[in-house]
Amino acid sequence: MRQISTNVFVNVDWEGPNLGLIVTGEGNVLVDSPDSPTEAVAWRKEVEKKGEVKYLINTDGHPDHFHGNYFLPGTVIASEGARDVILQTTPEEVLDRIKNVDPAGVPLMSGYKVKVPTITFKKGPLFLHLGDQVIHCFFIGGHSPNLIAIHIPREKVIFFGDNVVHKHKTRLHEADPQEWLDSLKLLENMDVDVIVPGHGHDVCGRDYISEQASIVRAWMDAVQSAIKQGWSLEEAREKVKCPDPYATSKRSPNVLREIDEIIITRLYNYFLKTDFEVPHMK
Ligand SMILES: [Zn+2]
């Protein structure tokens, strides 16, 4: 666990999503949960040393960000859309993924239940007033329609979910790329010193935003140019080259080219306003 401001701590060392702990005078708040039971149990022990956990906020309804909720304390908060996704998830699906990402953690899954958000918001924003801290949650969309950011103004820290991933593969499999760029523009103008990315083994400052935006733009350009040349979806999936220089997490259940084809399909649909089935991201 690394301290990034007076009252905010993060763990950016594991292969799953980056994790946060916000310490307040009236109970602590966690951001996201590990996608491995082994790590989730270890994370719980570590965060409980800093005091009682009151809330756990999921930035998104993607599996890697909420599968570990079960192992962590706190009332879960997320967007209404993320809750809908989480509600449809079965323990069997979670177990299937765990077998892949954390085989040694499978015994910890006995008795597993999907821990669902019980506090949600739809368009936002949502403010948590805890002691002298204000925690401001608001929609950013982009990477996923359910994505939220968590801003702690007193600490000048923001958790930006997977709209910023630090030197890690950018995933546009469910993206609205224009919304994504808009959120980065907004972030550029915020009074924050530290951005906690959704993935990648470091936190960053505002100087990383332009690089993140350039990767989103490069993907948009690559698929738009395929469409301009009249390529079918099949051709685009085969021929569009991934413009992202960064690798994905070592733990991802999908292989790289599979992820690229999912992204290409998503963006192809986005630009042509079509509806080809987007393959499932594990
Ligand atoms: Zn993620």
The span from the CA of 23 to the CA of 73, in Å, is: 14
Query: Could you tell me the distance, in angstroms and rounded to a whole number, from the CA of residue 10 to the centre of ligand 1?
Result: 15
C-alpha of residue 165 to centroid of ligand 1, in Å? 9
* Nearest Cα to Cα of residue 207 among 219, 195, 217: 195
Cα of 161 to ligand 1 centre, how many Å?
7
Q: How many domains, in total, are found in the chain? A: 2
| Segment 47-71 mean pLDDT | 97
Whether 17 has a pLDDT exceeding 90, the answer reads: yes
pLDDT of residue 251: 80
Distance 12 CA to ligand 1 centre (A): 12
Distance from the alpha carbon of residue 230 to the mean position of ligand 1, in angstroms: 32
Name the phi and psi angles at 63, rounded to 5.
-50, -45
pLDDT band at 210 (very low <50, low <70, confident <90, very high): very high
Q: Are residues 10 and 74 in the same domain?
A: yes
Report in angstroms the alpha-carbon separations of 250 from 160, 169, 229. Answer: 22, 11, 34
pLDDT band, residue 278 (cuts 50/70/90): confident
What secondary structure does DSSP assign to 220-277, as a single string? HHHHHHHHHTT--HHHHHHHPPP---SPPPTT-SS-HHHHHHHHHHHHHHHHHT--PP
Residues 6+ apart with CB under 8 A from 126: 77, 119, 136, 137, 138
In a domain, 280, yes or no: no
Bridge partners for 159 per DSSP: 150, 196
Among 13-22, 157-166, 222-231, 268-277, the range scoring the smallest mean pLDDT is: 268-277
What range defines the domain where residue 92 resides?
2-212
Gap between the Cα atoms of 76 and 117, Å rounded: 4
Q: How far away, in angstroms, is 212 Cα from ligand 1 center?
A: 15
- Tell whether 122 and 227 lie within a shared domain: no
Shared domain for 137 and 182, answered yes or no, is yes
Q: Residue 161, class by beta-carbon neighbours within 10 Å (0-12 exposed, 13-18 middle, 19+ buried)? A: buried
Give tens-digit pLDDT for 145-154. Answer: 999 999 999 9
Cα(128) to ligand 1 centroid in Å equals 24
Q: What tokens does 146 get?
A: 């359910």
Residues 164 and 106 in one domain: yes
Residue 82 lies in a domain: yes
Helices (H) and strands (E) in the chain, counts: 8, 12
148 and 63 within one domain:
yes
- 201 Cα to the center of ligand 1, angstroms: 13
Tokens for 250, please give them: 């070592």
How far apart are the CA of 64 and the centre of ligand 1, in A?
6
- Asked if 249 contacts 200 with a C-beta cutoff of 8 angstroms, the reply is no
- Would 277 be classed as within a structural domain? no
23 CA to centre of ligand 1 in angstroms: 23
Is residue 82 within 8 Å of 66, Cβ to Cβ?
Answer: yes
DSSP bridge pairs for 27: none
Q: What is the pTM of this model?
A: 0.96
> Is the torsion defined by CA of 166, 170, 175, 178 positive or negative?
positive
Segment 119-131 mean pLDDT: 94
Residue 161 located in a structural domain:
yes
Comparing 257 with 28, the larger pLDDT belongs to 28
Q: Are residues 254 and 182 in the same domain?
A: no
| Average pLDDT of the residues in 126-142 | 97
Domain co-membership, 127 together with 243? no
pLDDT number for residue 276: 85
Residues 192 and 242 in one domain: no
CA of 25 relative to ligand 1 center, distance in Å: 29
Cα 66 to averaged position of ligand 1 atoms, centre (Å): 10
Q: How far apart are CA 171 and CA 200, in angstroms?
A: 12
CATH number at residue 42: 3.60.15.10
- Whether residues 70 and 173 share a domain: the answer is yes
> Within a domain: residue 104?
yes
- At 119 the three-state DSSP class reads strand
**Residue 34: inside a domain:** yes
- Same domain for 227 and 200, yes or no, is no
Taking only the tens place, the pLDDT of each residue in 226-270 is: 999 999 999 999 999 999 999 888 787 788 889 999 999 999 999
What's the gap in Å between 124 CA and the centre of ligand 1? 21
For residues 255 and 181, membership in a common domain is answered with: no
- Ligand 1 centroid from CA 228, angstroms: 31
Are 92 and 188 found together in one domain?
yes
Q: How confident is the model at residue 60 (pLDDT cuts 50, 70, 90)?
A: very high
